[in-house]
Amino acid sequence: MRQFYSYEERERYRAQKQAEATQQIKDLAVNWKESPENIAEYLAFSSRLHTYSARNTMLIYKANPNTLFPAAYKTWESMGYHVRKNEHGISISVYAPVTYFLPNSANTTWQPLKYASSEQKHQIEIGMLPTREIPHYKQGTVFDISQTDCPIEDYPKICGLGYNSLQHREIYEVFCRYSEKIGMPVVEDDFRGVATFGTYNMHSHEITINELLGDTQKLSTLLHEMSHGLMQHKPDDSKSTMQHEFEADSLSIMFANTYDIKITDARKSHLANCYRSLISADANIEIDKLLTPVTEKYSVHLERMNAELSLSNIMPIMNRIPLQQPKQVQAITLKPEMGMEMQMV
């Protein structure tokens, strides 16, 4: 028999889950403070989940770092698949703004729209009563593809294909043109050796790549230097040099994972040292807020960059998903009977 919960019980449950989610983010921050090299692993993971916010991606990663493709219960149904019985989902925050209205000019207390009478709703529709939208978040649940009846053979269709290292020369040439299109011209120079891979000029926005590098190194370097520009780094902005480098490293690592570029130990070490410097300067820095602008830029430019590749007939050809069931990790549960709506973020 289905059990129903009062509004107060649901609110207490939501507050409890929000507190648990916040603690999970803090736990990740502690882990990364002690072992900042692990941030690179997370960034590679987040490059697959770029439609989610940084906070939700962290919650999914903390619950199950082997997640391949998470979606809401109803989303899986809309794609023709079903979540298997007794599977536990992962709790995330869903943006669900609440609309308020002002009952009359004498009453200055805004009321939730759901409490409006039929007459008041009519007055709202014809513009007689003002309304405003208040940001609000509620709990939602997602399930990984491995928790559904989706056959393994369909994984590439759902999760998408990736690019291959054999395509790096062509991808590099396309991205050079894309970079110039958005105001960052790319030139090559020999730098009198290979000690310097590349540079980004914050004044002229010009990118210089060492012409002595191989195709993969050129692409990797271009993505890092482009990341400075995509993050709009300027010599006189409020960010420190370490934050500039941390953001550029983070963004370029996400791109690198997308375009089949191995993240070197040197890049991981550089990222870790930048993070150590940042938390040394500000122990209260919040990692999800630090990475939010990075993931936002990634989402925007990934779509545009892939569109440029498509126009040049460079298509993803590699199956990035192993044709075996990923290891299951116990996820945080959110009971559907609590009345929480399951939807994609």
For 71-110, write each residue's pLDDT tens digit: 999 999 999 999 999 999 998 988 888 899 888 767 678 8
pLDDT band (50, 70, 90) for residue 316 = confident
Q: What is the pLDDT of residue 202?
A: 94
Q: What is the pLDDT of residue 220?
A: 96
Q: What is the pLDDT of residue 305?
A: 96
Amino acid, single-letter form, for residue 137: Y
Indicate the helix (H) or strand (E) that contains 106: none
80: left (phi over 0), alpha (psi -120 to 50) or beta: left
pLDDT band (50, 70, 90) for residue 203 = very high
**Residue 228 class from Cβ within 10 Å (0-12 exposed, 13-18 middle, 19+ buried)?**
buried
Closest CA to 219 of 186, 183, 194: 186
Half-sphere exposure of 201 (CA within 13 A, CB side): 12
- H helix count then E strand count, the chain: 11, 11
pLDDT band (50, 70, 90) for residue 6 = low
User: For residue 277, is pLDDT > 90?
Assistant: yes
User: For residue 62, is pLDDT > 60?
Assistant: yes
Amino acid, single-letter form, for residue 184: M
DSSP E strands, the chain: 70-71, 90-95, 98-101, 111-112, 131-134, 137-144, 161-162, 186-189, 198-200, 207-210, 318-319
Q: Which residues contact 46 (CB under 8 A, 6 or more apart)?
A: 54, 57, 61, 254, 291, 295
Full-model pTM: 0.79
Amino acid, single-letter form, for residue 96: A
pLDDT band (50, 70, 90) for residue 4 = low
Q: Please, are residues 222 and 209 in contact by the beta-carbon 8 Å criterion?
A: yes
Residue 174 phi/psi, 5-degree rounding, is -65, -45
Q: What is the pLDDT of residue 320?
A: 54
List Cα–Cα distances, 217 to 162, 196, 238, 335, in angstroms: 18, 12, 31, 48
- The mean pLDDT of 54-70, rounded to a whole number, is 93
Q: What is the pLDDT of residue 344?
A: 33
Q: What is the pLDDT of residue 7?
A: 58
CA distance 219 to 213: 9
Amino acid, single-letter form, for residue 308: E
Q: What is the pLDDT of residue 5?
A: 61
CA distance 243 to 277: 9
Share of residues in the chain with pLDDT > 90 (%):
55
Q: In what order do the strands lie in the sheet with 90-95?
A: 70-71, 137-144, 90-95
CA distance 10 to 47: 33
